[in-house]
C-alpha cells in the first residue's frame, strides 16, 4: 500500500521544483534587467520644478484677463488645501491600497512579470499612484519591460523619501483633467467654480472619475452616462474602503451636480494685458513671469473696459464710413491715483487688416492740443495767471539734440 503514495510524492516534488525554478527564473530576470538598464537619476524628480500658470486679473482679482500658459493651466496648491473628499475619492478609484503599499503592489507586479515571461507581450497590470507620477515625470511613455522595471525601482525610491501626503499632493497637482486643465485646483475652478476643499462628495467623485480618460469622460462630451457610471463606481469604492458611510453614499448618489458652462478660454483686454506682461518681464525677468505661477491683480476696471471697447469699435466703424479713419483707441486713468482703468489699443486686437494688435494708445505721436493743460498747469505753478501777457516772439531752446524752436 505504501507504494501507492510514491506517484503522488513524485508529482509534488516535481511541482515544487517547477515553481522553485520559475521563481529563480523570475528573480534572475529581474536581477539581470536591473543590472543592465540605466535608471534615471532620482534627484531629477526632487529638483524638478512644476510650472504654475501666471494669471493676470482685473482690479477685483476675480475676472481672469489672461493666462500666460494657455496650453497648460495649472495652479499648484499644498496638500492642506485640497480637501478630504477629492483625496479619498482619488485614492479609492486610482489606488485603493495606496496607504498600505510601498510604491508598488507586489501581487500585481509578480503577476505582470509572469504574464510577460509566459506570453512575451508587454507587461500588464494597474499602476499605483506613485508609479503614475514616475511615469509622467521621469520616464518616456513607451510600453516596454525595461521601462516598467525602471518605474518599479523609482517608485520604491520615492516611497522611501517622500510621505504619502507629499506623493498624493504631487499627483493631484499634476494629473490631467481634460484639455489644458491640469491639477485639482484648476479642475474644481473650471468645472464647479469652487475651491477643492469645498467640493461636495458627489462633485469630488465626478472629478476623480475623469483622469482615467479625460476626453472620453469629459462632462461636456457625449459620454455623460459613462461618466455617471464611473462616478458611481468611485462612490462604491469609497464605501467599500470605509471612506464614507451608507448614508453619505446614498446622499451622494441622489445629489444633482451641475457643471459650469464650458468656457472659451482666451484673452480679455488684450492690449492692456500685453502691456502689463511686458512691464512685468522688464521688471522681474521673463523666466519669473513664465514659470513662477504669479497672480497679478491689475488696476483695470473690466466693466468700464468692456463698454470702452464697444464704444471704440462703433465709432471707429462710423468714422471709417464717413472719413476713411479705420481705427481708434482709448485710455482712461483715475485722476487721483494715475491708475489705468481702461486701455483699448485698437478697435479690434484680432483684426489683421488694420494691424489690430498694434497698441495705438502707446504709439509715439504728436500730442497736439491735448498737451495744453500741462503747459497751463506749469505756467500757473510758476506764477502766471489768465491775465498774464506773453509776447509772441521766436524763442530758441538749447537741448541735448541741438537748438529747438523758432
CA 6/CA 10 separation, integer angstroms:
6
Smallest Cα–Cα separation from 77: which of 185, 224, 180? 185
The DSSP letter of residue 128 is P
Over the range 144-180, which residues count as b (16 or more CB within 10 Å of their CB) and which as e?
A: ebebbbbbbbbbbbbbeebebeebbbbbbbbbbbbeb
* Overall residue count recorded for the chain in this entry: 406
Active site residues: 94, 369
* Strand, coil or helix: 397: strand
Show Cβ contacts of residue 45 under 8 Å, excluding neighbours closer than 6 positions: 134, 137, 138, 154, 158
Q: Measured at the alpha carbon of residue 86, what is the angle toward residues 230 and 253, in degrees to the nearest 5?
A: 45
Q: Which residues contact 54 (CB under 8 A, 6 or more apart)?
A: 67, 68, 69, 289, 290, 291, 292, 293, 294, 295, 296
Element (H, E) at 7: helix 6-36
Amino acid at each position: 500500500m505504501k507504494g501507492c503514495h510514491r506517484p503522488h510524492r513524485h508529482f509534488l516534488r516535481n511541482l515544487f521544483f517547477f515553481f522553485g525554478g520559475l521563481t529563480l527564473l523570475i528573480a534572475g530576470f529581474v536581477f539581470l534587467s536591473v543590472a543592465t538598464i540605466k535608471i534615471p537619476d532620482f534627484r531629477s524628480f526632487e529638483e524638478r520644478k512644476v510650472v504654475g500658470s501666471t494669471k493676470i486679473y482685473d482690479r477685483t482679482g476675480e475676472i481672469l484677463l489672461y493666462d500666460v500658459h494657455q496650453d497648460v493651466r495649472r495652479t499648484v496648491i499644498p496638500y492642506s488645501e485640497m480637501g478630504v473628499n477629492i483625496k479619498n475619492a482619488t485614492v479609492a478609484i486610482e489606488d485603493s491600497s495606496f496607504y498600505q503599499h510601498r510604491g508598488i503592489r507586489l501581487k500585481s507586479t509578480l503577476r505582470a512579470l509572469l504574464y510577460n515571461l509566459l506570453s512575451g507581450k508587454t507587461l500588464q497590470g494597474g499602476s499605483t499612484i506613485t508609479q503614475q507620477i514616475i511615469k509622467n515625470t521621469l520616464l518616456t511613455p513607451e510600453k516596454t519591460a525595461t521601462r516598467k522595471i525602471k518605474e518599479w525601482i523609482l517608485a520604491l525610491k520615492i516611497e522611501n523619501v517622500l510621505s504619502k501626503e507629499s506623493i498624493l499632493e504631487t499627483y493631484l497637482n499634476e494629473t490631467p483633467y481634460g484639455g489644458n486643465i491640469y491639477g485639482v485646483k484648476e479642475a474644481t475652478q473650471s468645472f464647479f467654480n469652487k475651491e477643492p476643499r469645498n467640493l461636495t462628495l458627489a462633485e469630488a467623485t465626478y472629478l476623480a472619475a475623469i483622469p482615467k480618460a479625460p476626453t472620453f469622460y469629459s462632462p461636456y462630451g457625449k459620454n455623460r452616462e459613462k461618466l455617471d457610471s464611473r462616478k458611481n463606481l468611485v462612490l462604491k469604492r469609497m464605501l467599500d474602503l470605509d471612506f464614507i458611510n451608507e448614508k453619505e453614499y446614498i446622499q451622494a448618489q441622489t445629489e444633482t451636480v451641475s457643471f459650469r458652462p464650458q468656457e472659451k478660454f482666451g484673452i480679455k483686454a488684450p492690449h492692456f494685458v500685453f502691456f502689463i506682461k511686458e512691464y512685468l518681464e522688464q521688471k522681474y525677468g521673463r523666466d519669473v513671469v513664465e514659470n513662477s505661477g504669479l497672480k497679478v491683480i491689475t488696476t483695470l476696471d473690466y466693466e468700464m473696459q468692456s463698454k470702452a471697447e464697444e464704444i471704440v469699435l462703433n465709432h471707429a466703424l462710423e468714422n471709417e464710413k464717413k472719413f476713411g479713419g479705420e481705427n481708434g483707441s482709448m485710455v482712461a486713468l483715475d485722476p487721483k491715483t494715475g491708475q489705468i482703468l481702461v486701455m483699448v489699443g485698437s478697435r479690434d486686437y484680432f483684426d489683421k487688416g488694420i494691424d489690430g494688435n498694434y497698441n495705438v494708445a502707446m504709439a509715439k505721436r504728436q500730442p497736439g492740443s491735448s498737451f495744453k493743460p500741462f503747459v497751463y498747469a506749469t505756467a500757473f505753478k510758476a506764477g502766471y495767471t489768465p491775465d498774464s501777457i506773453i509776447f509772441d516772439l521766436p524763442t530758441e531752446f538749447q537741448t541735448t539734440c541741438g537748438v529747438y524752436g523758432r
